[in-house]
Structure 1
Amino acid sequence: MTKAIKKQALGRGLSALLKDPENDIKSVEDKNADKVVGNILEVDIDAIEINPFQPRTNFNEEALQELASSIKELGLIQPITVRKLDFNKYQLISGERRLRASKIVGLQTVPAYIRIANDNESLVMALVENIQRHDLDPIEIALSYQRLIDEIQLTQEQMSERVGKKRSTITNYLRLLKLDPIIQTGIRDGFISMGHGRALISIDDQDVQSDIYQKIVSQNLSVRETEALVKKHQDGTKPNVAVTKKEGSFAVNEEQKKALTSFFGSKIDIQVAGKGKGKITIPFHSEEDFHRIIKLINS
């Protein structure tokens, strides 16, 4: 306990460096940078701007009020993380829930880890720290992964290493973004789970996705029941299996069929089997027609 109090008091003392224009620290090479960068210092709450790269967009008001009550009673136990932008100006990297709750309580300053980072580093830190530490909903996690791909050009393999998740797990999250936006909202709002979403992904038609989604919600279907419903739909829409051309066979084109039909004066049916084998069917409609065809063959 004594060690913790001493460290917090030291942080308050070092905070004076942040408010001295002559000691403004902009890079790790600046004087006293080692006393500021990476340390926990008290930062004016009004000097902190929200990180535009923050992946979390939904904040449960009840949970925020509970956190605010805890901060009012015990103080902000876990510091937020900020990067220094300019003199007495910072940008949040992680800890937006804690910052919002601190504002509700009316704190003037908050303990913060000070970092110096460019925008890309800030984005990576914000996304990775939020994915690892907070209870983001599956769509927010998927969007975070997608931003790492789009804006930082990280591969799924690199993301796997950064966030400590299997590549297959990352792929499953990213596939959720292919769902109809209404269904994505349903996942975010907790109407259906990620498991339901994964079952619906195998359906390409978004109208059908939406129909099944409505059934899931209205009938409170489990993931397993949803998978069965999806399978039933897919089995019912499978096209008739076309007869594939067997090895060694050949195709008879329409011109050839027309030529034989014209020659015999009857609609000829041609079936080609494997290895070039097949049969030609010549219909006749009377004994006279039969003798006519025989005469053609023998001529």
Structure 2
Amino acid sequence: MTATAPAAPAKIVSMEIPVDRIDRDPGQPREHFDEAKLQELALSISKLGLLQPIAVRTSDVDPKGRDKAGRRYTLIMGERRWRAAQIAGLTKMKCLVHFGVEDGDPETLAKAVAENVGRADMTPIEEAKGFDRLVKLGYPLEEVASMCGKSAAYVGWRIDLLKLELPVQEALAKGHMPVGLAWYVANLSADNQQRFLTRWIRGDFATTRDAEAFAQACRAEEERQSKQGSFFVLSEDAVRAAGSGSEQESLLGSLDMPSEERERIAADRRKLVGKIEQLDKAGAILAEIATMDPGELALLLAGAQGGIAAQRMRIDHLKDVATKAVRNLREAQAVASVRASALQVDPDAIADNSDASDAA
């Protein structure tokens, strides 16, 4: 259901208003402003004046637009210009005053969000808060997306970021964590978000893709253990080194696994590793082709069945398969690392300890 617009259109009057009688909107989604860019704008205003008026509102309706002494105004759009004007020393500003617009008016908020969204200096969390307020006011997700020139998926992903714990939100706002990775982290429990952030800042991941795979594996492990009646919490230690044996035991589960199953795993492992070792031959062939003179390649392959195009198609296919294999191995490595660095917490044990403490 679409949010209801005001019953009557607001009266808009052009006025000059004292800068010190204008207040920022506490509900304004944009919270961070680049100080250097504000200084640049202030210098421009000092030389050329304010070229574009800001928009303000007042809840004190005055049909004739008279400026009552002491009346205060709240920004609708143009906070960056208002801040720069104060730096430039302006005492009055050109304003378009929207009379009759009340605090929390959904249409006014929609305009403010639409104006700011997508700006280079607007953080993903600021966007998320603006989108979220519009949705809570009754605007459907698809309508919010349309008003702001974004896809519904984009708006939904941004709103998901509000599930991030404050330290992770701060890391995202300061550019210390990519927004794509932050979205994966937002799906984790509060404890695991904090512990993941520690690992990310510490540099435990070789690439962002590795970090994303690790976060996804953490989420899968949370769900898996939840179904078993346990909690999954990352340990505070670094991921254990591969090959230590701990990863294998954590993947196998209980140590009393039937010997037949362990033997099957060992046999299948030998087969798979043997196949992977044969990739050295393919690698040597590709390395030879990569270092050949293009003119010589043309002479040798132009007469082959299908010509050069057919041979290139075969290698392109190998490249696509290799890309998928690398992605699958990255995810497998993340699963092994997550299982090896897990603290499994039994809710019943927590309850027993709590009862014992109470009794003491």
Which TM-score applies when normalising by structure 1? 0.60
Q: State how many pairs are aligned.
A: 206
Report how far residue 46 of structure 1 moved: 2.5
Select the structure with the greater relative contact order (CA < 8 A; seq sep ≥ 6): 2
Could you say which residue in structure 1 is the equivalent of 2:196? 212
Q: Which moved more, 1:124-133 or 1:153-162?
A: 124-133
* Deviation for aligned residue 1:130: 2.4
Q: Which residue of 2 aligns with 1:129?
A: 115
Give percent identity, aligned residues only: 32
Structure 2: segments with no counterpart, 5+ residues: 1-7, 61-66, 228-360
Provide closer, same or farther for how the CA distance between residues 58 and 238 of structure 1 changes in structure 2, counting only shifts above 3 A.
closer
Q: For the pair shown, which has the larger CA radius of gyration, 1 or 2?
A: 1
Residue 133 to residue 75, structure 1, CA distance change in 2 (3 Å)? farther
RMSD of aligned Cα (Å): 2.9
Amino acid in structure 2 at the alignment position of 1:83: R
* 3-state DSSP of counterpart to 1:129: helix
Task: Give the 5 Å matches for 1:1-299.
Answer: 37=12, 40-86=14-60, 87-88=67-68, 89=71, 90-116=73-99, 117-119=101-103, 120=105, 121-131=107-117, 135-150=121-136, 152-202=137-187, 204-219=188-203, 222-233=207-218, 239=224
User: Which stretches in structure 1 are left out of the alignment for 5+ residues?
Assistant: 1-26, 243-299
The letter for the 1-side match of 2:164 is L
Hey, what's the Cα distance between the residues in 2 that align with 1:44 and 1:74?
Answer: 19
Q: Which residue of 1 aligns with 2:256?
A: none
The alpha-carbon deviation at position 84 of structure 1 amounts to: 3.9
Instruction: Give, as a single letter, the amino acid of the residue that structure 1 aligns with 2:77.
Output: S
Answer whether contact 1:40 1:113 (CA < 8 A) is retained.
Answer: yes
Distance of 1:236 and 1:53 partners within structure 2: 38
User: Contact 1:80–1:98 (CA<8 Å) still a contact in 2?
Assistant: yes
Matched letter for residue 117 of structure 2: I
Structure-2 change in CA distance of 1:134 and 1:191 (3 Å): closer
Shift of 1:239: 4.6
Report if the CA contact (8 A) 2:125-2:169 is conserved.
yes
Tell whether the 8 Å contact from 2:53 to 2:95 is kept in structure 1 after alignment.
yes
Write out per-residue CA displacement over residues 218-237 of structure 1, whole angstroms, 9 at most, x where no aligned residue.
32764312113224545767
| Structure 2 CA distance for aligned equivalents of residues 238 and 149 of structure 1 | 28
SS of alignment partner, residue 57 of structure 1: coil
Aligned-residue offset at 1:169: 0.5
Q: TM-score, length-normalised on structure 2?
A: 0.51
